[in-house]
C-alpha cells in the first residue's frame, strides 16, 4: 500500500511538471543587485517545480542558467548559477526560458559548477531532492500575491521613467522655431554696418548612422521686417536649403529619458528677396510710397551645440544654439541702383527650439 502511494505521488508530480526542453515566455519582476536571484511571473500554475533547471535566453542567445528555489502559484524565485549576459538580467526584462536537465552536482561546496561563468553558484546534494544554495543574495522573503502586485506596479512605474532603446528607429522628423541676431555689413559704394533680429521656421529629417553621428537635411523659411522713423519698410524673405552633420560624442542618441548633447556642423544655400518701401517724414509734403526689390542667392555655414530629450512615445524636444554666417549676393537690383552686383555679409548667434519624432 505504501509503495502504491509512493508511485502514485511520483506519477502525479511527473504529470504536473514540465518536461525537458519545454519553453515559456517570462518577465523578470525583480532582481537582486547582482542579478543572481530572480523573481519571475511564472509559478506552480505553469507546472514549475522547486529544483527545475532552465536556461533564460533571447532568440538563440543564452542569457543565464538558473534553478527554482522558491515557488508560489503565479511566481517563482530562481537562483542563477551561470551568468552569460548580466546586462539583460534586469527588472521588467522579457525573456524566454527552456527547461534543461539538472546540472551534475558536486559534493565539494567550494567547486564552481560553471568555470566560464561571470557569477558562480555552488550546489551540493542534500537530503532527498533538496538543494542547499551557497549564496549571500538569497533571503527568506515569502513572495505573496500582494507582494508580486506591489513589485509589478513599482517596476512598471520605474520602467516608465527608465531609458529604453530607439536604435530600431533610425529616422527622425523634426521642426524648429528660432531667432537670429545678426550684425550686418553691406558692401556697395560705401560700407554700412547694422544689426537686426530675424524669425526662422525650419523642417528637417535626420538619419542616424550608428552610435556616433547622423546626417540631417533641412529646409527653412526666414523673414524680417524693419520699420524706419519716416515710415520706410524693408522686408527680407529667404528660403534656405541645406544639411548638417550631428555628432553624439557623450551620450547615445538612441535613449529615452536622457539628456543627449550633440555637436552640429552644416551649410546651406538659398534664394532671398529684399523689398524696400519708402516713407515720408512727418510734416513734409506727402507723396506716394515706392517699393523696389532686389533678389539674389545666399550661401551660409554654421556650427553649434544642441540638446535632445526623448519620451517613451518616441516624441522629443530639442534645442540648438549655434553661430551662423551668411553671404547674400544680389544680382537683380532695382533700376535705380548703379551697380551690377551687391553683396551683404551677416553673422551672429541663433537660438532654436523644436519638436521631433523617431520612426
Q: pLDDT of the chain along its 359 residues, tens only? A: 555 554 444 444 444 678 999 999 999 998 887 778 999 999 999 999 998 999 999 887 889 999 999 999 899 999 998 888 888 888 888 999 999 998 754 444 433 333 333 333 333 333 333 333 333 333 434 444 554 555 555 555 554 455 567 888 899 999 989 877 777 666 655 566 666 777 889 999 999 998 899 999 999 998 887 777 666 778 889 999 999 999 999 988 988 888 999 999 999 999 999 888 876 554 444 444 577 888 899 999 999 999 999 998 889 999 999 999 999 998 877 766 666 678 888 888 889 999 999 99
Q: How many angstroms separate the CA atoms of 289 and 274, rounded? A: 16
The residue written with cell numbers 530675424 in the block is: 198
Q: How many angstroms separate the CA atoms of 120 and 260, rounded? A: 37
Of 298, 349, 345, the residue nearest 184 (C-alpha): 345
Given this model, what pLDDT does residue 88 score? Answer: 86
User: Which grid cell is 98?
Assistant: 527552456
**Bridge partners, residue 70, by sequence:** 77
Query: Residues 6 or more apart from 85 whose CB is under 8 A from it?
Result: 61, 62, 63, 64
- Which 8-state DSSP code applies to residue 286? P
Contact 210, 237 (CB under 8 A): no
Range(s) for CATH 2.40.160 in the chain?
171-358
- Architecture of the domain made up of 2-161: Beta Barrel (2.40)
The residue written with cell numbers 553683396 in the block is: 343
Task: Give the pairing type, strands 122-125 and 171-187.
Answer: unpaired
Contact 201, 177 (CB under 8 A): yes
Range(s) for CATH 2.40.10.340 in the chain?
2-161
Query: Residues 6 or more apart from 330 whose CB is under 8 A from it?
Result: 272, 274, 294, 295, 296, 341, 342, 343, 344
Contact 243, 215 (CB under 8 A): yes
Q: How many angstroms separate the CA atoms of 211 and 218, rounded? A: 21
Residue 50: count of CB within 10 angstroms of its CB: 15
Contact 206, 244 (CB under 8 A): no
Q: How many angstroms separate the CA atoms of 239 and 219, rounded? A: 7
Q: Looking at the chain, which runs of residues are DSSP E strands?
A: 23-31, 37-40, 53-58, 61-71, 76-83, 94-100, 122-125, 131-134, 171-187, 191-209, 213-227, 233-247, 260-277, 291-310, 315-332, 342-358
Task: Give the pairing type, strands 342-358 and 171-187.
Answer: antiparallel
The residue written with cell numbers 509559478 in the block is: 43
User: Which grid cell is 317?
Assistant: 524636444
Residue 261: count of CB within 10 angstroms of its CB: 14
Contact 172, 359 (CB under 8 A): yes
Given this model, what pLDDT does residue 167 score? Answer: 80
Q: How long, in residues, is the chain?
A: 359
Given this model, what pLDDT does residue 120 score? Answer: 35
Q: 171-358, what's its fold? A: Porin (2.40.160)
User: Which grid cell is 109?
Assistant: 561546496
Q: What pTM was estimated for this model as a whole?
A: 0.52
Return the SS3 of 126: coil
Contact 200, 179 (CB under 8 A): yes
Question: CA–CA distance from 24 to each of 152, 182, 277 (Å)?
Answer: 19, 64, 76
User: Which grid cell is 295?
Assistant: 533678389
- Which 8-state DSSP code applies to residue 128? T
Amino acid at each position: 500500500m505504501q509503495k502504491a502511494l509512493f508511485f502514485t505521488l511520483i506519477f502525479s508530480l511527473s504529470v504536473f511538471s514540465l518536461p525537458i526542453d519545454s519553453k515559456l515566455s517570462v518577465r523578470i519582476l525583480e532582481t537582486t543587485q547582482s542579478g543572481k536571484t530572480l523573481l519571475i511571473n511564472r509559478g506552480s500554475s505553469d507546472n514549475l517545480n522547486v529544483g527545475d533547471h532552465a536556461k533564460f535566453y533571447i532568440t538563440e542567445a543564452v542569457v543565464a542558467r538558473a534553478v527554482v528555489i522558491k515557488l508560489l502559484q503565479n511566481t517563482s524565485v530562481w537562483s542563477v548559477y551561470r551568468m552569460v549576459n548580466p546586462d539583460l538580467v534586469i527588472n521588467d526584462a522579457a525573456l524566454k526560458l527552456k527547461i534543461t536537465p539538472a546540472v551534475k552536482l558536486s559534493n565539494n561546496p567550494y567547486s564552481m559548477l560553471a568555470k566560464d561563468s561571470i557569477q558562480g553558484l555552488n550546489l551540493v546534494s542534500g537530503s532527498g531532492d533538496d538543494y542547499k544554495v551557497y549564496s549571500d543574495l538569497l533571503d527568506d522573503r515569502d513572495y505573496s500575491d500582494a507582494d508580486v502586485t506591489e513589485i509589478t506596479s513599482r517596476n512598471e512605474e520605474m520602467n516608465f521613467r527608465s531609458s529604453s532603446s530607439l536604435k530600431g528607429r533610425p529616422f527622425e522628423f523634426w521642426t524648429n522655431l528660432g531667432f537670429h541676431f545678426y550684425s550686418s555689413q553691406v558692401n556697395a559704394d560705401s560700407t554700412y554696418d547694422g544689426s537686426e533680429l530675424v524669425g526662422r521656421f525650419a523642417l528637417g529629417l535626420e538619419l542616424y548612422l550608428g552610435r556616433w553621428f547622423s546626417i540631417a537635411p533641412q529646409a527653412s523659411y526666414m523673414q524680417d521686417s524693419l520699420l524706419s522713423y519716416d515710415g520706410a519698410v524693408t522686408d527680407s524673405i529667404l528660403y534656405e536649403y541645406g544639411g548638417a552633420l550631428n555628432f553624439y560624442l557623450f551620450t547615445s542618441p538612441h535613449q529615452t529619458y536622457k539628456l543627449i548633447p550633440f555637436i552640429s556642423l552644416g551649410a546651406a544655400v538659398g534664394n532671398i528677396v529684399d523689398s524696400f518701401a519708402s516713407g515720408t517724414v512727418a510734416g513734409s509734403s506727402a507723396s506716394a510710397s515706392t517699393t523696389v526689390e532686389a533678389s539674389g542667392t545666399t550661401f551660409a555655414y554654421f556650427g553649434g551645440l544642441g540638446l535632445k530629450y526623448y519620451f517613451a512615445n518616441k516624441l522629443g524636444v530639442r534645442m540648438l544654439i549655434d553661430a551662423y554666417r551668411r553671404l547674400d549676393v544680389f544680382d537683380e537690383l532695382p533700376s535705380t541702383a548703379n551697380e551690377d552686383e551687391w553683396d551683404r555679409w551677416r553673422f551672429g548667434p541663433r537660438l532654436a527650439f523644436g519638436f521631433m519624432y523617431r520612426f
